[in-house]
Amino acid sequence: MTASANPSVLFVCVHNAGRSQMAAAFLTHLAGDRVQVRSAGSAPADTVNPAVVEAMSEVGIDISAEIPKVLTTEAVRSSDVVITMGCGDACPYFPGKRYLDWQLDDPAGQGTGAVRPIRDQIEQRVRGLLAELDIEATP
């Protein structure tokens, strides 16, 4: 764990425009300030996928102001848990970090209807991660 009392989690996908944005938003929403949350992409898009923004707003989470961010070595180095979602070997590896790879469909180019099941899978995985971290999700 980092020097702070709160664990740090980094979500990584290729464009940081869909899966990693949803995961970071769910973790922030469910854990508040009890977890440090980051997201990034190995090849960030210009904007977050509009269907992802809409699907998240349907569950009361506004990510319309989020901007895709580039994956940096420092972001990985300063995270306790690194969760990849289809970024392949682009993610740097540091011993002592916990790495998880979540196999999820890519919402790129999909409409809101196709994004909803991906969103729901991500929410369930984030809730599972919170349980593993022994952090109770806010209702």
Which residues carry out catalysis?
13, 87, 91
Joined together, the tokens standing for residue 27 give 């973790």
What's the distance, CA 24 to chain centroid? Answer: 4
Exposed / middle / buried, residue 11 (Cβ in 10 Å: 0-12, 13-18, 19+): buried
